[in-house]
Structure 1
Amino acid sequence: MDRFFPRTVTPYYETKNEMLLLGDTFELLKKMKKESVDVIFADPPYFLSNDGITCKSGKMESVNKGSWDKVDSLVDKHKFNRQWIRACYKVLKLNGSIWISGTLHNIYSIGMALEQEGFKIINNITWQKNNPPPNLACKCFTHSTETILWAQKADKKAKHLFNYQLMKEQNGGKQMKDVWSGNLTAKSEKFAGKHPTQKPEYLLTRILEASTLPGMVVLDPFCGSSTTGVAAKRLGRLYIGIDNEEDYINISKTRLETILP
């Protein structure tokens, strides 16, 4: 796999087509080669760790994910989002695109940050979960969706890739809509270990099929358990994953070693 970083940066795990890096996302993106990736998928912290409770497998659980999912103020949250999105702009190719997943806790800040940092939003995808956990407080509607923003550089010369015909074929010959439905992550996809916000493989498969071609480079700056990497490997894309939690990087490594292209 081509070098995307100076030799002072040592990957935690590397093969011909995959690279996992353990460390601070901001510091590693600063060192990454300019305009070196074709597509970015990011599932950043949602900042919903507020000491509340949720329902999981019929049991009450804390919504707290960890220190990485907490923020002191709205100002700090937006500063965080602008900082990492700015860093992604630098490493993304002119004709590349970025996908960002989030909930109401963070997605509105992300949308504003994208435009402030030189991006133009292409689509606002609504991922509808067929089997969401119930709302225990019973004071609002059950939270059953997440938003995925798809954006490109707001440059007149930028032309993002969209595999329109493939998406149409997968949708029975009709234009695919911006509402996607499906179940939460299957237990079979969690064999390598537990990650609190692991995305289902079908979701990342569609994203990469829609916006990449074989051999293109996919970056996930908050890779977690690397569902992005699993989809990329199956589809013949190159993958770079970054995370600051060694446990999650090890889950990623196990999954990538198990998956066949």
Structure 2
Amino acid sequence: MTAEFRTLKPIFTSIDSSFSLYQGDCNELLPQMKEKFDLIFADPPYFLSNDGLSIQNGKIVSVNKGEWDRGNEIEDIDNFNMKWIANAKIALKSTGSIMISGTYHNIFSLGRALQKLDFKILNIITWQKTNPPPNFSCRYLTHSTEQIIWARKSHKYKHTFNYEFLKALNGGKQMRDVWSFPAIAPWEKSCGKHPTQKPLALLVRLLLMSSNENSLICDPFSGSSTTGIAANLLNRKFVGIEQESEFIGISVKRKKELEHYTESIESKIKDLAFYKKTLL
């Protein structure tokens, strides 16, 4: 680790040093972490906070997530994505890869940015939600999927892909690019909820696929740090970047909860249980 990286001061580091959080703008912090990460998972703003309505748990709710999720001008969205992805590329090792979550609101902008920045796109994984909210307007199909673009930094260097393990996980058949998972369960919200929180089971599979034990994984929009919890459950190290103090607080609580209830959490995630079994 370079002296430059050591001078950065995390707002939180776990006792086991496997989970660190930095509070600030990822565009300022990532360039200072040059070629440090094996994998970046990013769940950036989708820019869907437009004062619309949806249905959640049978109740009509606003789709607004926060000011950080507002954005109407396509040029501004494209510029935002180009900037942070360029900085993410700086922070990736030459063998590193990036995964970015999105929907139709931002996925095309993300794809363009990756291509312009000369990433090699590997897959677009579709997360099919088994329990999506119903379509409130009844004017189009129910939105039941999100996409994760997986791309590697270099066209020259090979990326990590645990093909044989994914095949074993899928009953001896090649793992396909459509995965079915429910949205977050109530137990995943015990320390508080982020409005765009991803299910832990989804992150576990993504990290099992594209990283190894002791890999250093970064989430530049870490939110409530589901990426970090998944990383630590799989014996990976985590660096999260988040601007909002509220979500930093939730992240710290989740990490401390993990230290006491690891076995309980492991029992709830099928892929994780399979992984632990194969290690024995």
TM range (shorter): over 0.9
C-alpha contact 2:130 2:180 (8 A) present in aligned 1 = yes
C-alpha contact 1:95 1:160 (8 A) present in aligned 2 = yes
Paired residue total = 258
Alpha-carbon shift at residue 257 of structure 1 (Å): 1.2
Query: Which residue is 1:74 aligned to?
Result: 74
Alpha-carbon shift at residue 71 of structure 1 (Å): 1.6
* Percentage of matched positions with identical amino acids: 52
Mapping for residues 117-196 of structure 1, pairs under 5 Å: 117-156=117-156, 158-196=157-195
Query: Which residue is 2:43 aligned to?
Result: 43
Instruction: Tell me how far apart the structure 1 counterparts of residues 163 and 100 of structure 2 sit (CA, whole Å).
Output: 20
Q: Secondary structure of the residue that 1:87 maps to in structure 2?
A: helix
Query: Which residue is 1:254 aligned to?
Result: 253
Query: Which residue is 1:229 aligned to?
Result: 228
Instruction: Tell me how far apart the structure 2 counterparts of residues 139 and 220 of structure 1 sit (CA, whole Å).
Output: 35
Query: Which residue is 1:21 aligned to?
Result: 22
The structure with more helix, counted as a fraction of residues: 2
Alpha-carbon shift at residue 244 of structure 1 (Å): 0.5
Q: Secondary structure of the residue that 2:5 maps to in structure 1?
A: coil
Instruction: Tell me how far apart the structure 1 counterparts of residues 2 and 249 of structure 2 sit (CA, whole Å).
Output: 22
C-alpha contact 2:124 2:148 (8 A) present in aligned 1 = yes
Alpha-carbon shift at residue 155 of structure 1 (Å): 2.6
Q: 1:2 to 1:217 in 2, by over 3 A?
A: farther
Alignment root-mean-square deviation, CA: 1.4
Query: Which residue is 1:10 aligned to?
Result: 9
1:85-126 per-position Cα deviation (integer Å, ceiling 9, x unaligned) = 000000101111100000100001000100111201100101
Alpha-carbon shift at residue 57 of structure 1 (Å): 0.9
Structure 2, unpaired ranges of 5+: 263-280
Q: Secondary structure of the residue that 2:208 maps to in structure 1?
A: helix
C-alpha contact 1:41 1:98 (8 A) present in aligned 2 = yes
TM-score (norm 2): 0.89
Q: 1:186 to 1:4 in 2, by over 3 A?
A: farther
Instruction: Tell me how far apart the structure 1 counterparts of residues 93 and 28 of structure 2 sit (CA, whole Å).
Output: 19
Q: 1:95 to 1:154 in 2, by over 3 A?
A: closer
Instruction: Tell me how far apart the structure 2 counterparts of residues 154 and 96 of structure 1 sit (CA, whole Å).
Output: 8
- Where do 4+ consecutive residues of structure 1 move more than 4 Å? 1-4
1:40-70 per-position Cα deviation (integer Å, ceiling 9, x unaligned) = 0000000000110011111011111111001
Q: Secondary structure of the residue that 1:111 maps to in structure 2?
A: helix
Q: Secondary structure of the residue that 2:109 maps to in structure 1?
A: helix
